[in-house]
Amino acid sequence: ETGVTQTPRHLVMGMTNKKSLKCEQHLGHNAMYWYKQSAKKPLELMFVYNFKEQTENNSVPSRFSPECPNSSHLFLHLHTLQPEDSALYLCASSSELGPFGPQHFGDGTRLSIL
């Protein structure tokens, strides 16, 4: 049990589909993050939420739409994606925003865009 659970583990979708990635943390943390991990590239921060409020959007295209209904759940809604959006999407959490950044990561969702 990692403490941060992501579903689905794998997702294949067409460019016109709409899907959502889900992240749930059972650690009582207040901050949650979305990262994108592409092949041969460093992890890229996408969004940061603190106490359900978005505190950071790292210039992410609008075809990615995050939602944080409460401190335990974080979603990433996807629509009209592009082939270059194929990547591993990692969710993370931390007890608070602070110098140590995300402390716990989920296993990620492997997204493939056809």
| Chain residues in the site for another protein (CB under 8 A) | 2, 31, 33, 40-43, 45, 48, 50, 55-56, 58, 88, 90, 92, 97-103, 105-108, 110
Give the shortest CB-107-to-another protein separation in angstroms.
5
Cα–Cα distance for residue pair 74/29, rounded to 1 Å: 12
Nearer to another protein, 14 or 56 (CB): 56
CB 49 within 8 A of CB 29: no
Task: Tell me the closest approach of the beta carbon of residue 91 to another protein, in angstroms.
Answer: 10
Q: Which residues pair with 110 in a beta bridge?
A: 10, 88
**Minimum gap (Å) between residue 44 Cβ and another protein:** 8
Nearest CB to another protein, comparing residues 52 and 110: 110
Q: Count each helix (H run) and each strand (E run) in the chain, helices first.
A: 0, 11
